[in-house]
């Protein structure tokens, strides 16, 4: 059982690890200054592909639920994250986003009846501090709109995680279909915004086409399928504690592939954030086991039969 849980956690972790490669792909392959178009190209083709593979559409109340989850996890998350990236210096939005575990802890207490523990709160704080050492660069005054956008994007993703956990999936519907619903809904919400703000799509050469194919297939279709599959089987807190792996991966890719330096302080931050991620899995898993023994207020359907050193994480490109 423990081995199965560890394997599931490692597979789910591949999602934020994949998102950490987005910075390098975007800077090396894609046309510049088209964040909304890039978000659209990530979400909508991947969603339509998964819909075609699953061949299942929402029914009844799930039309509304799929729209809400798609708006939170994709449609609102992408534009708000891009807005914060353009208005905040360096990796500040990544630091704001790293408080996601604390958001999820609070929302889980409200919506899932899961009491936060001192260990979980402390671990989330350490993870955020570690990420800040890796990606934060002193630069200029903070922009209020940028900070609010970063907080809103983190809150949207956190609410999406908790609601996905609370609502589970309809009977007989797998994570592939649920992921397709959300990506399609989110992409359709981004499409008019991208057209309004950025105008007509840019001309794509072969290099950009390869980049967008990677983002749509591996970075989005597969990664989000693994992510939502993990949400259905792990606790919401366990899932969100995997989030710091994204900026950490971006730092490693920047060092290994783009020649970006890592200072001793940044290496220490990586160790702190990674250690907090591991402890978050252990602590949340133990707490979940204790709660499962006494109550299961919202059981998952899975249980039923059926650009320089630390511009590395331009946060709009983390996921």
Q: Which of 141, 162, 183, 146 lies closest to 53 in space, CA to CA?
A: 183
Q: Write out the two tokens for 56.
A: 């299942």
Using CA of residue 223, residue 225, residue 226, residue 231, what is the dihedral sign?
positive
User: Is the per-residue pLDDT at 183 higher than 80?
Assistant: yes
Residue whose tokens read 């589970």: 168
Rg (CA), the chain: 19
Enter the pTM of the model: 0.81
* Residues sharing a CB contact under 8 Å with residue 185, sequence separation 6 or more, in sequence order: 47, 66, 67, 69, 70, 71, 74, 75
Give 155-182 pLDDT, tens digit per residue.
999 999 999 999 999 989 999 999 999 9
* Residues sharing a CB contact under 8 Å with residue 52, sequence separation 6 or more, in sequence order: none
Give the chain's mean pLDDT.
82
- Domain segments of the chain: what residues? 2-295+307-317
> How far is it, in rounded angstroms, from Cα 310 to Cα 150?
18
Q: Write out the two tokens for 115.
A: 């009491």
Give 104-150 pLDDT, tens digit per residue.
888 988 888 888 888 888 888 998 888 888 876 644 566 788 788 88
């Amino acid at each position: 059982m423990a081995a199965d849980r560890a394997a599931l956690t490692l597979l789910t972790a591949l999602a934020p690890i994949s998102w950490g490669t987005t910075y390098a792909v975007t800077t090396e392959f894609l046309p510049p200054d088209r964040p909304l178009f890039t978000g659209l190209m990530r979400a909508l083709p991947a969603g339509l592909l998964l819909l075609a593979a699953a061949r299942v559409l929402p029914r009844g109340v799930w039309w509304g639920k799929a729209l809400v989850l798609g708006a939170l996890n994709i449609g609102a998350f992408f534009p708000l994250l891009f807005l914060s990236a353009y208005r905040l210096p360096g990796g500040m939005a990544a630091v704001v986003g790293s408080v996601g575990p604390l958001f999820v802890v609070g929302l889980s207490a409200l919506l899932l009846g899961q009491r936060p523990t001192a260990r979980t709160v402390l671990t989330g704080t350490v993870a955020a501090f570690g990420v800040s050492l890796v990606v934060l660069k002193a630069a200029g005054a903070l922009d209020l709109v940028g900070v609010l956008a970063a907080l809103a994007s983190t809150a949207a993703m956190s609410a999406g995680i908790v609601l996905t956990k609370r609502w589970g999936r309809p009977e007989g519907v797998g994570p592939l279909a649920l992921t397709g619903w959300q990506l399609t809904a989110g992409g359709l919400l981004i499409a008019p915004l991208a057209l309004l703000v950025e105008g007509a799509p840019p001309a794509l050469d072969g290099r950009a086409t390869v980049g967008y194919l990677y983002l749509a297939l591996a970075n989005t279709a597969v990664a989000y399928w693994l992510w939502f599959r993990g949400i259905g089987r792990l606790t919401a807190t366990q899932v969100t504690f995997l989030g710091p792996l994204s900026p950490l991966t971006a730092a490693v890719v920047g060092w290994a592939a783009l020649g970006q330096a890592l200072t001793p302080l940044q290496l220490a931050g990586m160790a702190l954030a990674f250690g907090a991620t591991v402890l978050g899995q252990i602590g949340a898993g133990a707490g979940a086991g204790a709660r499962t023994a006494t109550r299961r207020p919202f059981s998952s359907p899975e249980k039923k039969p059926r650009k320089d050193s630390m511009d590395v994480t331009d946060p709009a490109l983390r996921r």
